[in-house]
Structure 1
Amino acid sequence: MTPYHKLLGFEALYLEDSYVIDVRETDRSVMFVMDLVLTEQHPAYQPPKPNEQYCYHRRQIEFVGLETVNWIRREFRPTTDPDGSVDYGNIAIFQSTGTAYQLAGEWGEVHIGAAGAVVALY
């Protein structure tokens, strides 16, 4: 399995400290709306805001050319931060073998068969 940071378009992201804001499914795609941590290698990187450890940007990870979606478990329990924002934790596991993707975190675990995964502005 290939870890996410070796996938095209994911090299300058740090998912382990990024936050899942929402997951949206259609018959054509699965989208994870995220507050993504951008590393210094990302072209949109800026120094962290006061009281933040990382450079966060609202983006979405979209799985396109969807073939299969198999939820192993779903546990969407929101966490409310001191500023009132809500998230569902991070993506602790994101790996791929060709068109097969495995993702897991506090929110659950899903196996996705898709032509590709892209990161886009939300």
Structure 2
Amino acid sequence: MSTYGFRVDYPQLSGFEGVHLENSFVLDLKAAPGRLTLDVELVLTPEHPAYRPPAPGEQNCYARARIDFPDVRSLTWTDQGTPPAVDASGETDYGGIDALYWDGAAFHVEGDWGSIEVVSGPPGISRF
């Protein structure tokens, strides 16, 4: 728990309604001055306006998307030990997003690729 005594998990963040990050796949991560970007194969739930029944052979409704943390003022990335896998189609796969939450001071993003603490504007999702 944070020093602020609360934790806001991603489903309560604006724009994250109707997505399930734990079953989504991170395809790329980019940290640059002022910005953190995660390209993802995002799982949409039936509550999402773009939801459609899963394609044959798929377990979920997937959509390519970008999670963008704007106006980054501070970023710490630890535990960067696990290299990405390459899936059957030849795409890089960094695994899922195990957690995304805000503790009142910073956003925390965790997965097989490590743990990122980022002080930034609120993250947003855009499809591509």
The verdict on a shared fold, with TM-score over 0.5 as the criterion, is: yes
Provide the aligned C-alpha RMSD in A. Answer: 1.3
* Alpha carbons 1:64, 1:114 under 8 Å: kept: yes
2:101 maps to 95
Match of 1:115 among 97, 113, 121: 121
Alignment of 1:21-60 (within 5 A): 21-60=27-66
SS in structure 2 at match of 1:74: coil
How far the C-alpha of 1:76 sits from its partner, in A, is 4.5
Unaligned runs of 5+ in 2: 1-6
For residue 85 of structure 1, what is the aligned residue in structure 2?
A: 91
Please tell me whether the aligned partners of residues 99 and 114 of structure 1 are also in contact (alpha carbons under 8 angstroms).
Answer: no
Amino acid at match of 1:38: L
- Secondary structure of 2:11's partner? helix
Count of aligned pairs between the two proteins: 122
- Residue 58 (structure 1) shift: 0.5
Deviation readout 1:64-112 (Å, 9 max, x if unpaired): 1111100122135122223333201000011112451011111111100
Alignment match, 2:68:
62
Alpha-carbon distance, 1:121 to partner? 1.8
Secondary structure of 1:94's counterpart equals strand
Q: Provide the C-alpha distance between the structure 2 equivalents of 1:54 and 1:17, rounded to a whole number of angstroms.
A: 9
In 2, the alpha carbon distance for the partners of 1:49 and 1:99 equals 40
Query: What percent of counterpart residues are identical?
Result: 34
Aligned partner of residue 122 in structure 2, secondary structure: strand
Q: Is the Cα–Cα contact under 8 Å of residues 28 and 92 in structure 2 kept in the other structure? A: no
The equivalent residue for 2:19 is 13
The amino acid across from 2:90 in the alignment is G
- What is the TM-score of this pair, normalised by structure 2? 0.89
